Structure 1
Amino acid sequence: MISFGKAYEAVMAERWTLAAETVRLDDACGRYLAQLVVADRPLPPYDRATMDGIAICHRDFRDGHREYRIQGMARAGDPRHRLSGAGNCIEIATGAVLPEGADTVVRYEDLLSSAGAFTIQSDPSEGQSIHPAGSDADAGSVLLEPGTRIGPSEIAVLASVGVGKPKVYSLPAVTLVSTGDELVDVDQKPEPHQIRKSNTRALRAALTEFGIVPEEIHLADDPQIIRMELEKVLSEPGILLLSGGVSKGKFDYLPEVLEALGVRKCFHRVAQRPGKPFWFGVGAGGENLVFSFPGNPVSTFLSFHLYFRDWLLKSFGFDNNGQQARLIAPAENTSGLTQFRLATVENREGTLWAAEVPMNSSGDFLSLARAEGFLCIEPTKSGYAKGATVKWIPFKFK
């Protein structure tokens, strides 16, 4: 049995270098960027009006002009107009190019309209209501780094600089494997000795964060069937996420079968709770990784978020530095195991404060629905005082 820290390092050490692929911009949301994105021109590309009103030369106002004759109208999308003559103005729409010769925009709310003219009824500052060219970014400035998760705001950035087909990291093939004769499909009515499959449902849902649609198989507790089916899966490059069959029971055949199929065991059993029986290995040639999670629902769920999710983010080039939270109440852990405890958090002036959620056992999947993540409580003789800072692994995001 190895420590949680060493187990985590062993998994991260097997990070894959995923190939880049090009996708349509409309299909890029949720993917991870595999290219550097730079500004192809200054942003904004011109001095831009931020209010509807009139564009004037502020020197005219300083010289005493209050009434301004309307010379024209500048709309968004118009080529640049030219303001000429003292005491003249050009009406301007939000988003329009500031006319040549103008340096100030006065909003309509501060104007009195008359025939062919406007009278300023405020004291405008020179340069007000203008978004200067290049004030957001110079041409050539780096806007997005590789490893950035593409969301709606990143889509806007990509579109604004003409990246209609961004390069993103490819998605690994993933197969979900459930084991156990006690499991039946979700739409079946279980017998008293059976339970419905929930672990693979939860893992499939968790994979949607990355746009991964996994294959899925179920294995009966028969070593020959397990070997035959896993041999097929391991014949193609990809990731196996297994749930159950890795403890020390008489019907937990997976560790023996996986090693017989040439999967190199990196470790089996971790000094943590829940999730102690976790098994991790690398297939022949490094083309497969096997994450074999314990079958209890909380153990499977934790192991996915703790190990596989961070491994995948690292393979996407995303540096997951982790989050921290402060304890609302004191905590103890003298077990010698790294404990992961369900909790909810609240944000108090930028600091996360965590309150533990009661859990009966690692089989208590109902507690997952009441929680938002896991607190990492390392073993210590001194305990944790109220307000102590610990690692926070979220699985729900407000």
Structure 2
Amino acid sequence: MTTVEQAEKLILAQVKDYGDETVPFEQALGKVLAEPIKADRDLPPFNRVTMDGIAIKYQAVENGICTFHIKATQAAGDVPVEITDSNECIEIMTGAVLPSSVNTVIRYEDLEMRAGLASIKVEGIKQGQNIHVQGADKKQHEVLAASGQLVTPAIISLAASVGKTHLLVKKMPKVVIISSGDELVDVHETPSPYQIRKSNSYTVKAVLQQHGLQPDILHIPDDPEITKAQIQQCLLNYDVLLLSGGISMGKFDYIPQALEDLQAEKIFHKVAQRPGKPFWFGRYQDKALVFAFPGNPVATFMCLHRYFLTWLNTTLGLAEQSPVYAVLAKDFKFQPPLQYYLQVKLNSNLQGQLIASPVEGNGSGDFANLADTEAFLELPMERDDFKQGEVFRIWKFV
């Protein structure tokens, strides 16, 4: 049986570049930059005032002047007003351009304002205070965000600030989510006592949308010919098939046979893990990859985060994240020789450690616990007894 480490290695061997595309910057959130964003001018583009108050020439303070005539008031966006005498000042607002004839800003809190005069009432005024110097952040043409970065709200802000109305980003693979089984009914329907609603597909879709994907959804009934025909169409029209259910050893699990009949290459089937042992992974020529997860909700959810998102991030060229570890909050035993993914709640203690508290459910079909947990704790298959205080890797899903 394939180990977790082997499965990950085999999946990452199938990384493929899907090319680039240009999108409006406000639609780029969650995508990955395929080009650097550069400053179109110095940042800030001028000597910018950082406090409301007055702007003076510092040499006046050195010469003993502490009261200044207010020549004018200048707001952010106004044309700068210059002084001609050292005993003059400009009443100035945060964000305004600093006039070239002044070099120091004194905030209102340090002044007494009366009858067109501003008097300094504190000691320790320093030349150049409360000024954000032109180009202090970045010079024109310097890189603000490197290629390969995930587009976050901060990246959107950078793009807007330099007038980058369109961004070149990595093209996302075209994904379809496929469920199967006559026991599944649509969400809006009332199931019979022996049926359940199609929740898995919407769970997977919600996760993928968080990562910038907009997948399609398809349901296949328990019919071998329909299964084969539908799978064939998906193999020809999508980059990735994410299947939930129909891949175990049941009499009505037609998907593995359909994939074999269609000459999809099985790279592995079954992984030494719980949940998610029946996981099937393969490819169809150079056209499509197939991630066929078990139908149990927790198994689907775990495999999606542990394998598919790892593959997706690598495919998009995102830098590999350092593993995150947590301390087990209490003793835990698990008997079968499988790598176990334990649902946990996360908290931190006063020492700054991440603490993982097990939330034991009723197997991989117990999806209710997913709403009360935040991560899977990865417990190695070589052991069956895990002690409080031991440290293990976690896979966060919240």
- What is the TM-score normalised by the length of structure 2? 0.94
Residue of structure 2 equivalent to 1:125? 126
Q: Distance in 1 between matches of 2:364 and 2:382?
A: 22
SS where residue 303 of structure 1 aligns?
Answer: helix
Indicate the residue corresponding to 2:18 in structure 1.
Answer: 18
Partner of 1:338: 339
What is the CA deviation profile of residues 68-109 of structure 1, one whole-angstrom value per residue up to 9, with x for unaligned ones?
A: 112223321133443332222111110011111322111112
Measured after TM superposition, the shift of residue 319 of structure 1 is 2.1
In 1, are the aligned partners of 2:337 and 2:384 still within 8 Å (CA)? no
CA apart distance, 1:64: 1.1
Q: CA offset at residue 335 of structure 1?
A: 3.5
**Distance between the aligned counterparts of 2:40 and 2:348, measured in 1?**
38
345-354 or 362-371, larger mean C-alpha shift: 345-354
Structure 2 distance, partners of 1:191, 1:333, is 35
Aligned-partner Cα distance in 1 for 2:215–2:146: 28
Residues 317/118 of structure 1: CA separation in 2 closer, same or farther (3 Å cut): same
Say whether the 8 Å CA contact 2:82–2:101 is kept in structure 1.
yes
AA partner of residue 360 (structure 2) = P
- How far is the alpha carbon of 1:291 from its aligned partner? 0.4
**Post-superposition shift, 1:332?**
4.6
The question of 1:270 aligning with 2:281 is answered: no
CA contact (8 A) 2:329 2:355 kept: yes
2:175 touches 2:238 (CA, 8 Å); kept in 1?
Answer: no
Task: Determine which of 372, 375, 384 is the counterpart of 1:373.
Answer: 375
Native 8 Å contact 2:242 2:292 kept in 1:
yes
- Is the 1:178–1:244 Cα contact (8 Å) retained in structure 2? yes
Q: Which residue of 2 aligns with 1:181?
A: 182
Q: Indicate conservation of the 8 Å contact 2:55/2:105, yes or no.
A: yes
Q: Report the CA distance between 1:268 and its aligned residue.
A: 0.5
Letter in 2 for 1:65: I
User: Which residue in 2 is equivalent to 1:134?
Assistant: 135
Deviations 1:116-171 (A, max 9, x none): 22111112222221112222223333221223222222111111122110111222
Secondary structure, in 3 states, of the residue corresponding to 1:390?
strand
Identity among equivalent positions (%) equals 41
Match of 1:353 in 2: 355
1:339 CA displacement: 0.8
Question: Which residue is 1:235 aligned to?
Answer: 236
- When residues 317 and 363 of structure 1 are mapped into structure 2, their CA distance, relative to the original with a 3 A threshold, is same
SS of corresponding position for 2:179: strand
- 3-state SS of paired residue (1:375): strand
Distance 1:395 1:246 in 2: 24
* TM norm structure 1: 0.94
Quick one: distance in 2 between partners of 1:81 and 1:360? 73
SS at structure 2 position matched to 1:363: coil
**3-state SS in 2 of match to 1:304:** helix
Q: How far off is 1:296 after superposition?
A: 0.7
The one-letter amino acid of 2:211's match is F
Sort the Cα spacing of 1:138 and 1:384 in 2 relative to 1 into closer, same or farther, 3 A.
farther
Write the deviation string for residues 204-227 of structure 1: whole angstroms up to 9, x where unpaired: 221211343322221122211111
Question: 2:287 is matched by which residue type in structure 1?
Answer: E
SS at match of 2:202: helix
Runs of at least 5 residues in structure 2 that lack an aligned partner in the other structure: none
Structure 1: runs of 5+ lacking an equivalent? none
> Cα distance, 1:333 vs. partner?
4.9
Q: CA deviation at 1:294?
A: 0.5
Query: Equivalents in 1 of 2:304, 2:277: separation in Å?
Result: 13
- Alignment-derived partner of residue 224 in structure 1: 225
CA deviation vs aligned residue, 1:46-74 (integer Å, no higher than 9, x gap): 21111111011222112211101122233
Which aligned pairs between 1:1-398 and structure 2 lie closer than 5 A? 1-123=1-123, 124-284=125-285, 286-321=286-321, 322-333=323-334, 335-348=336-349, 350-381=352-383, 383-396=385-398
8 Å contact kept, 1:272–1:339: yes
Letter in 1 for 2:68: Y
Q: CA deviation at 1:261?
A: 0.6
Determine the C-alpha separation between the residues in 2 that align with 1:295 and 1:209.
Answer: 22
My pick for the range that moved more, 329-338 or 150-159, is 329-338
Bigger drift between 202-211 and 327-336 goes to 327-336
Q: Is the 8 A contact 1:52 1:93 kept in 2?
A: yes
Structure 2 distance, partners of 1:58, 1:326, is 57
- The code of the aligned residue for 1:7 comes to A
Q: How many residues align?
A: 395
Distance 1:51 1:387 in 2: 50
Q: CA deviation at 1:190?
A: 1.5
Deviations 1:3-62 (A, max 9, x none): 101101111121121211111122122222221112222211121111111011222112
* Letter aligned with residue 195 of structure 2: Q
Provide closer, same or farther for how the CA distance between residues 316 and 161 of structure 1 changes in structure 2, counting only shifts above 3 A. Answer: same
Judge conservation of contact 2:336–2:384 (CA < 8 Å) in 1: no
Q: Could you tell me whether the CA contact under 8 Å between 2:29 and 2:212 is conserved in 1?
A: no
Once the two structures are TM-superposed, the CA of residue 344 in structure 1 deviates from its matched residue by: 1.1
